[in-house]
Structure 1
Amino acid sequence: MADVEADQATLSGAQATVLSTAVGLLLLLCSLRSVPLGERMVVVRRGRARLRGPGVVALLPFLDRGVRVPLGVRWYGVDRLEATTRDAVRVAVTAAATGTVQDPLRYATASNPDQAVEWVLESELRRRLAERDLAQLATAPLTGATELAAAVSARTAEWGVEIGDVQLGRVETRVDPSLVRWATSR
């Protein structure tokens, strides 16, 4: 009888070893992440952020948080921006900007950096439109696009994003009697 109890204790010890090994392998496999060439992973542990990748990155379960950061060209769009020109004409503008992540650590630790970049783009567009007359927008809508991109980049650098190009897609205005009077007075 004592021999049977000893065999059961040995089996349960062997089962425990197999079970702990299986759990350890499962945790190891769950902690590995593959980071492609066009991305980096920012690993945050106890408030400290480290940059990892490309390649295989190991995260410690329950301690590390991994944030993937794409490094390629990103599009930021303004679908319809309502603004007023210097000569008090209401216009609706569509625009697009291209940008890249230059500092993945800043990008990953920022709160909603893509939305913040679009907000900055909209505010800079509003400011630039307020400095121009409607006639200037009609003749040369892209004048100052490099200065606009530089102004947006200066404000988005704190999130690790650099804007390379900004283009106005469409400038629309409502034709109403005051606009007709404005056009005929010129």
Structure 2
Amino acid sequence: MISSFFNGIPLLIYAVPVIVLFLAILARSTIKILREYERAVVFTLGRFQRVKGPGLVLLFPFVQEMVRVDLRIQVVEIPTQDVISRDNVSMKVDAVLYFNVVNPEHAIIQVQNYLPATNMLAQTTLRSVLGQHDLDEMLSERKKLSTDVQEILDSQTETWGLKVSNVEIRTVELTDNMVKAIAKQAEAERDRRAKIIHAEAEFQASQTLVNAAKILGSTPAAMQLRYLQTLTEIGGEQNSTIIFPMPIDIIRPFLDILEKADKGVRPNGALDGASAAEAHLGAP
């Protein structure tokens, strides 16, 4: 009997590691630990049972299985897409997509692999939305276009148990010829604005001068005060030449005399030499 006991020892030595290995595999397939941001979609004999986690999850070996789902926000880079705008301008556009799983059951059952499916859907949606707008809208209203893409993706991925929180259009690349054309357009626009501002300034200045002339013309004393102020300004600059402005009323009689002399009439009413000779020759 003792000899049979010692004969069974080698069999026991070989059997123990096998048993330990079997128990380890059984425990590994039975006991699962999920982190706070993870959920387990449990299937029993291939049929969905429920969503478990986080924490300790126990499964019946060989009967139940689970699929881990990460609930954290995932960042997906949308590759560069060739886009043709509504005004037939070709460009390259890339974007960044932010989404997370809100329904683990639908994310596993409704779609085979939600990550590449969302990426491909984002690419097609980006090309479709940007192709409906002009180049100027893409450059100036990038935030609005990002919001439009985000709303479309969110509505289409809702049945997959996903929530698209944000889409950011990152880069809009244009050809060199188009960049030069845009630069010329911007320069022309700046020149147009400068000319308009200059014209408006000239108009306002002329209007102000007209108003000032009306005020000075209605009050003669105001004109005299203006003359005195001008003299004060000239004298304060220490110039060697001083100009005294003279009212037009003072030199008006002299201008009348010169005008009459040009017409051949002297101031005392006598005829000049040429007029007298003509009168003498014409007399009988």
TM-score range, shorter chain: 0.7 to 0.9
* 1:157 counterpart residue number: 158
Where structure 1 has 5 or more consecutive residues not aligned to the other structure, the ranges are none
Deviation at 1:21, TM superposition (A): 6.5
Q: Give the unaligned 5+ runs of structure 2.
A: 190-284
Structure (1 or 2) with the larger CA radius of gyration: 2
Shift of 1:142: 1.3
Matches within 5 A, 1:64-103: 64-103=64-103
Taking structure 1 as reference, are residues 87 and 35 closer, same or farther at Cα in structure 2, changes over 3 Å only?
same
What CA distance in whole angstroms lies between the structure 1 residues aligned with 2:77 and 2:9? Answer: 64
Matches of 2:133 and 2:5, distance apart in 1: 90
* RMSD, matched Cα: 3.1
> Which structure has more helix as a fraction of its residues?
2
Task: Tell me if the contact between 2:83 and 2:131 (Cα under 8 Å) persists in the aligned partners.
Answer: yes
| Contact 1:51-1:104 within 8 A present in 2 as well | yes
Structure 1 distance, partners of 2:40, 2:118, is: 21
Q: Which residue number in structure 1 is paired with residue 38 of structure 2?
A: 39
* Partner residue, 2:51: 51
Report what 2:256 is aligned to: none
C-alpha contact 1:74 1:100 (8 A) present in aligned 2: yes
> Structure 2: how far apart are the matches of 1:6 and 1:89?
91
Identity among equivalent pairs (%): 24
In structure 2, how many angstroms separate the alpha carbons of the residues matched to 1:120 and 1:23?
45
Aligned equivalents of 2:26, 2:41: Cα separation in 1? 19
1:107 & 1:76 partners in 2: Cα distance?
Answer: 17
Q: Deviations over 1:7-48 (max 9, x none)?
A: 579989988997896466324421212100011011223222
Instruction: Tell me how far apart the structure 1 counterparts of residues 27 and 145 of structure 2 sit (CA, whole Å).
Output: 52
SS at match of 2:150: helix
- 1:147 partner amino acid: D
Q: SS at the partner of 2:151?
A: helix
- What is the CA distance between 1:81 and its match in structure 2? 1.2
- Change beyond 3 A, Cα 1:135–1:22: same
Structure 1, residues 51-91: CA drift from partner, whole Å, max 9, x if none?
11101112334333321111111112213111111111111
TM-fit CA distance, 1:6:
7.4
In structure 2, the partner of 1:26 is: 24
Figure out how many residues of one structure are paired with residues of the other and give that number.
181
Cα separation, 1, equivalents of 2:127 and 2:8: 77
> What secondary structure sits across from 1:169 in the alignment?
strand
Q: Distance in 2 between matches of 1:25 and 1:138?
A: 63
Question: CA separation in 1, counterparts of 2:12 and 2:174?
Answer: 79
Give the corresponding residue for 2:62.
62
Check if 1:128 corresponds to 2:129: yes
Counterpart amino acid of residue 63 in structure 2: L
Contact 1:78/1:118 (8 A) holds in 2: yes
Query: Residue 148 of structure 2 corresponds to which residue in structure 1?
Result: 147
Please give the TM-score of this superposition, normalised by the length of structure 1: 0.80
Structure-2 change in CA distance of 1:138 and 1:10 (3 Å) = closer
The 3 A distance-change label for structure 1 pair 19 and 77 is closer
The CA deviation string for residues 125-145 of structure 1, in whole angstroms up to 9 with x for no partner, is: 111111110011111211143
The question of 1:118 aligning with 2:110 is answered no
Matches within 5 A, 1:5-24: 22=20
TM-score (norm 2): 0.55
- The residue identity in structure 2 corresponding to 1:41 is A
Are 1:27 and 1:61, in contact at CA under 8 Å, matched by a contact in 2?
A: no
